[in-house]
Amino acid sequence: MYILSEDRKSIIHAAVITVERNSLGLYSDKKGMKYALVAKTSGQDHGDMGYALGAYATEEEAVFELERIMSAIEAGHETYRMGQY
């Protein structure tokens, strides 16, 4: 699935998407954003940081967005815009 990041600056062909703790502001420098959705591409090493799709104040908000992405995949969509649904 191709995903347009929340900041609208990247399109990622995601193979794996995970909820990650935004420790030290690695995925977002926005104040209060403690979690991030992070995508990795099919050729990326497990040790690579990945691409931030969006940042969230709580883990629940990040999981909710991940569930919306899953619903789009189940519906057969090939693209997804972060924060648009």
Contact in structure between 50 and 37 (CB atoms under 8 Å): no
- Residue 35 corresponds to which tokens in the numbers above? 């979690």
Q: pLDDT > 70: what percent of the chain?
A: 92
- Specify the pTM: 0.85
Confidence of residue 79 (pLDDT cuts 50, 70, 90): very high
User: pLDDT tens digit string along 51-60?
Assistant: 999 999 999 9
Q: Tell me: pLDDT of 82 over 90.
A: yes
User: pLDDT tens digit string along 22-45?
Assistant: 876 777 777 888 999 999 988 766
| Torsion (CA) 5, 51, 71, 55 in degrees, nearest 10 | -70
